[in-house]
């Protein structure tokens, strides 16, 4: 009897130890029937989902999960009662007490064999926090932190899905690669905080231009990619793109700066340019570079011919530093003729590159690449020094009042050392500021007008003349023009080309001339190729002309011959100076 009593005591003690252990365990422990009816919940379980008394539905575990969860439990219960190992599995419970979902890692066991309605014990580890962190990590890994847009990884994924879907549904999608024009300048001059704000605003505008089902991703600095699903045809895509360019062209107000941004884009479509995902991205990228080469602020569709350009561009970009170090760049000079006196009053220095493998390269092939790499600063400095040196040499030769015009890229204009460099070079070469002219395109000035006003004023105070190049192609308004210390408007050659046949172009050209004169600015027309164009310009009182009709851009020695014929040195300078007053 004593033995039985002591055995009973031991069983009771170990039972108490066990229930004590279960009750205080850190994991949720439950016991239920195969139909889900809960028989026991330890303290942690009651804290998480409430006590058995407070739970409705006969306290069934199944009522705490959705249909999918219930199905999973039923299957796992069945297996475990048949002694099949179910290992760990994850399930989600909805806690009625705290109204939140709980992610649990569950392991199950049964204690009695061959009993009809077996009790099932479950130990559940709360992994809600872990899953949340994991989801956050996945989100971070798939989204760009700055703009919140999908990043390259997620884009790649969506692209793969789009490809598979388009294949199955025989539908078309378009991949649009966008790169903001001259964005580097904004970061470099206004600082990264402004650059970041601008990128966020651009991201918002881009999203606003496309449908919810499209993907707008940011894949690098100022590079965005849009995946447009279910597009009908090229016309459909083109109209979306036109709309996008218009939207982006609206000014951005950031920390008191009014900033203008343009973008260049390349498109490839499925199935027309069908290829693997990586290659399709490359095709859109290649088309984007093509758009940049065409003068930016436009979007181009990919075609096979563009591939050759891509490898050429690669060679050019990679040999530029070396070319600069080895002195492979040359300056050509194109005269500017004063219409009333028929005298050459200035030349424009236009850079060329005598490339050892590719031959003589035009600036349109390398200026943009030089801007992207930042090499434009060194190249521009070389151009300025060489142009001043040459002009001084001509001066020694008797071309006294001849002015030389140098093109300034946007990147140079916004570079903090510009004015200092100009001062140094003028001092070094002995060139009077009055004999130097800078040609700056309208779009470059308009990108950050406030900043441009400041720099142009400083440049102007050195006596240097300032021309707005390619005038008529940008967004200048009269009100903006008045703020700049500008001396000359240079009518873009696209308006000059058709003055004889296109009444709109003729109207624009004569309006620019009239506007220039009312603002006390000189007007020069570029790209004059025919006598008829010349007549039109003369009749409309255009001050100066430049173009193949007078002379092509020429190397210095040949340019000198043209100058000798038509440049009357001091006299021309005297007239110019009089007119400027
Ligand atoms: P731009 O300053 O507007 O120069 C005018 C361009 O038109 C030149 O092309 C010139 O050769 C060409 N041109 C001149 N007369 C005629 C004509 O009668 N008909 C036609 N169809 N074209 C004519 P180029 O030399 O290829 O230069 C292209 C652009 O490259 C220039 O446009 C300028 O923006 C840029 N560029 C040239 N040199 C430099 C430079 O040293 N620095 C910078 N930043 N840009 C430069
Ligand atoms: Mg120019
Ligand atoms: Mg021009």
pLDDT digits (tens, 9 = 90+) for 528-551: 999 999 999 999 999 999 999 999
Query: 284: domain CATH number?
Result: 3.30.70.270
Q: What percent of the chain has pLDDT over 90?
A: 61
Q: Whose CA is nearest to atom 37 of ligand 1?
A: 350
Which ligand has the shortest distance to the CA of 553?
Answer: 1
Which ligand has the shortest distance to the CA of 386?
Answer: 1
Task: Compute the radius of gyration of the chain from its Cα atoms.
Answer: 37
The DSSP letter of residue 143 is: B
Position 85 scores a pLDDT of 87
Provide the β-strand partners of residue 173.
270
φ/ψ (deg, to 5) at 350: -120, 125
Number of folded domains in the chain? 3
Q: Whose CA is nearest to atom 44 of ligand 1?
A: 409
The answer as to whether 325 is a domain residue is: no
Answer yes or no: do 172 and 221 share one domain. yes
Residue 109 has pLDDT above 70, yes or no: yes
Answer yes or no: do 120 and 156 share one domain. no
CA distance 29 to 44: 8
CB contact set of 92 (below 8 Å; sequence gap of 6+): 65, 66, 69, 101, 102, 103, 104
Q: How many CB atoms lie within 10 A of CB 26?
A: 10
The answer as to whether 60 is a domain residue is: yes
Ligand 1 lined by 323 (C-beta under 6 Å) = no
Answer yes or no: do 162 and 20 share one domain. no
Position 579 scores a pLDDT of 45
Position 518 scores a pLDDT of 87
CA distance 366 to 353: 9
Answer yes or no: do 242 and 272 share one domain. yes
Cα 512 to averaged position of ligand 3 atoms, centre (Å): 15
Strand 100-110 relative to strand 28-32, pairing: unpaired
Q: Whose CA is nearest to atom 2 of ligand 1?
A: 407
- The mean of the pLDDT values for the chain is 89
Extended beta strands in 375-464, E state: 403-408, 436-441
Which residues have CB less than 5 Å away from ligand 3 (the ion)?
A: 469-470, 526
CA distance 103 to 473: 60
CB contact set of 551 (below 8 Å; sequence gap of 6+): 334, 335, 559, 562
The answer as to whether 322 is a domain residue is: no
Q: How many CB atoms lie within 10 A of CB 124?
A: 23
Answer yes or no: do 390 and 532 share one domain. yes
Kindly provide the b/e burial profile for residues 367-391, where b requires at least 16 CB atoms within 10 angstroms of the residue's own CB: bbbbbbbebbbebbbebbbbbbbbb
The answer as to whether 88 is a domain residue is: yes
Domain boundary among 134, 152, 180: 134
Answer yes or no: do 390 and 448 share one domain. yes
Task: Choose among 153, 146, 252: nearest CA to 200.
Answer: 146
Which ligand has the shortest distance to the CA of 295?
Answer: 1
Parent domain of 180? 144-303
Residue 578 has pLDDT above 60, yes or no: no
Structure tokens at 460: 């102007």
Answer yes or no: do 484 and 339 share one domain. yes
Answer yes or no: do 347 and 278 share one domain. no
Answer yes or no: do 82 and 168 share one domain. no
Confidence class for position 298, pLDDT limits 50, 70, 90: very high
The DSSP letter of residue 176 is: E
Cα 405 to averaged position of ligand 1 atoms, centre (Å): 11
Position 94 scores a pLDDT of 85
Answer yes or no: do 148 and 121 share one domain. no
CA distance 570 to 566: 13
Cα 553 to averaged position of ligand 1 atoms, centre (Å): 9
Query: 526: domain CATH number?
Result: 3.20.20.450
Answer yes or no: do 83 and 181 share one domain. no
404 in Cβ contact with 390 (< 8 Å): yes
Which ligand has the shortest distance to the CA of 490?
Answer: 3
The answer as to whether 329 is a domain residue is: no
Instruction: Point out the ligand 1 atom lying closest to the alpha carbon of residue 334.
Output: 14
Q: Give, for ligand 1, the residue of 364, 379, 407 to mutate: max count of ligand atoms closer than 8 Å to Cβ.
A: 407
Cα 151 to averaged position of ligand 1 atoms, centre (Å): 38
pTM above 0.85?
no
The answer as to whether 363 is a domain residue is: no
Q: What percent of the chain has pLDDT over 70?
A: 94
The pLDDT tens digits of the residues spanning 340-376 come to 999 999 999 999 999 999 999 999 999 988 988 889 9
Ligand 1 lined by 533 (C-beta under 6 Å) = no
Cα 363 to averaged position of ligand 1 atoms, centre (Å): 7
The answer as to whether 471 is a domain residue is: yes
Q: Give, for ligand 1, the residue of 390, 526, 530 to mutate: max count of ligand atoms closer than 8 Å to Cβ.
A: 526
Q: Whose CA is nearest to atom 12 of ligand 1?
A: 527
Chain centroid offset of residue 309 CA: 21
Provide the β-strand partners of residue 175.
227, 268
Domain boundary among 134, 168, 189: 134
Position 484 scores a pLDDT of 82
Task: Choose among 119, 27, 36, 129: nearest CA to 81.
Answer: 119
Which ligand has the shortest distance to the CA of 467?
Answer: 2
103 in Cβ contact with 7 (< 8 Å): no
Cα 469 to averaged position of ligand 2 atoms, centre (Å): 6
The answer as to whether 449 is a domain residue is: yes
Ligand 1 lined by 157 (C-beta under 6 Å) = no
Ligand 1 lined by 350 (C-beta under 6 Å) = yes
| DSSP secondary structure, 8-75, as one string | HHHHHHHHHHHHHHHHH-SSEEEEE-TT-BEEEE-HHHHHHH--TTT--TTTBGGGGS-HHHHHHHHH
Ligand 1 lined by 472 (C-beta under 6 Å) = no
213 in Cβ contact with 205 (< 8 Å): no
Answer yes or no: do 278 and 168 share one domain. yes
Cα 334 to averaged position of ligand 2 atoms, centre (Å): 10
The pLDDT tens digits of the residues spanning 401-440 come to 999 999 999 889 888 899 999 999 999 999 999 999 999 9
Domain boundary among 111, 134, 157: 134
Query: 106: domain CATH number?
Result: 3.30.450.20
CA distance 515 to 523: 9
């Amino acid at each position: 009897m004593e033995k039985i009593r002591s055995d009973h005591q031991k069983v009771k003690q170990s039972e108490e130890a066990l229930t004590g252990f279960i009750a205080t365990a850190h994991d949720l422990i439950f016991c239920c029937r195969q139909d889900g009816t809960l028989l026991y919940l330890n303290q942690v379980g009651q804290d998480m989902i409430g006590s058995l008394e407070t739970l409705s539905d006969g306290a069934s575990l199944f009522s705490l999960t959705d249909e999918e969860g219930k199905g999973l439990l039923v299957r796992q219960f069945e297996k475990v009662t048949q002694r099949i190992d179910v290992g760990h599995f994850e399930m989600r419970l909805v806690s009625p007490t705290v109204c939140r979902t709980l992610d649990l890692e569950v392991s199950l066991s049964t204690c009695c064999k061959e009993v009809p309605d077996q009790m099932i014990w479950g130990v559940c580890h709360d992994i809600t926090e872990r899953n949340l962190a994991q989801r956050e990590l996945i989100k971070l890994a798939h989204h760009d932190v700055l703009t919140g847009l999908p990043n390259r990884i997620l884009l790649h994924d969506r692209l793969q899905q789009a490809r598979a879907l388009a294949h199955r549904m025989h539908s078309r999608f378009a991949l649009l690669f966008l790169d903001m024009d001259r964005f580097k300048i904004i970061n470099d001059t206004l600082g990264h905080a402004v650059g970041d704000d601008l990128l966020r605003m651009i991201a918002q505008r881009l999203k606003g231009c496309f449908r919810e089902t499209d993907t707008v991703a940011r894949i690098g600095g100022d590079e965005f990619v849009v995946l447009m699903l279910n597009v009908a045809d090229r016309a459909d895509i083109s109209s979306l793109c036109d709309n996008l360019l218009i939207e982006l062209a609206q000014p951005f107000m950031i920390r008191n700066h009014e900033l203008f941004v343009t973008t260049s884009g390349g498109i490839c479509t499925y199935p027309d340019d069908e290829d693997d995902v990586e290659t399709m991205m490359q095709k859109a990228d290649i088309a984007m570079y093509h758009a940049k080469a065409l003068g930016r602020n436009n979007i181009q569709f990919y075609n096979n011919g563009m591939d050759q350009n891509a490898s050429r561009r690669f060679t050019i970009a990679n040999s530029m530093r070396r070319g600069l170090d080895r002195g492979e760049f040359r300056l050509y000079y194109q005269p500017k003729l004063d219409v009333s006196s028929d005298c050459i009053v200035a030349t424009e220095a236009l850079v060329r590159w005598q490339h050892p493998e590719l031959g003589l390269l035009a600036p349109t092939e390398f200026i943009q690449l030089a801007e992207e790499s930042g090499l434009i600063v060194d190249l521009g400095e070389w151009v300025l020094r060489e142009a001043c040196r040459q002009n001084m040499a001509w001066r020694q030769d008797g071309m006294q009042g001849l002015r030389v015009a140098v093109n300034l890229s946007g990147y140079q204009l916004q570079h903090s050392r510009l004015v200092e460099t100009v001062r140094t070079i003028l001092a070094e070469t002995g060139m009077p500021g009055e004999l130097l002219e800078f040609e700056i395109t309208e779009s470059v000035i308009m990108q950050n007008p406030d900043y441009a006003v400041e720099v142009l004023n400083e440049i102007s105070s050195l006596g240097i003349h300032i021309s707005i190049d390619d005038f008529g192609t940008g967004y200048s308004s009269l009100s903006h023009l008045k703020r700049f210390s500008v001396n000359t408007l240079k009518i873009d050659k696209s308006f000059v080309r058709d003055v004889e046949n296109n009444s709109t172009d003729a109207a624009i050209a004569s309006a620019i001339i009239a506007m220039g004169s009312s603002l006390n600015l000189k007007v020069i027309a570029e790209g004059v190729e025919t006598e008829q164009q010349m007549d039109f310009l003369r009749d409309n009182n255009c001050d100066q002309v430049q173009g193949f009709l007078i002379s092509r851009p020429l190397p210095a020695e040949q340019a000198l011959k043209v100058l000798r014929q038509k440049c009357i040195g001091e006299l021309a300078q005297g007239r110019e100076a009089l007119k400027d007053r």
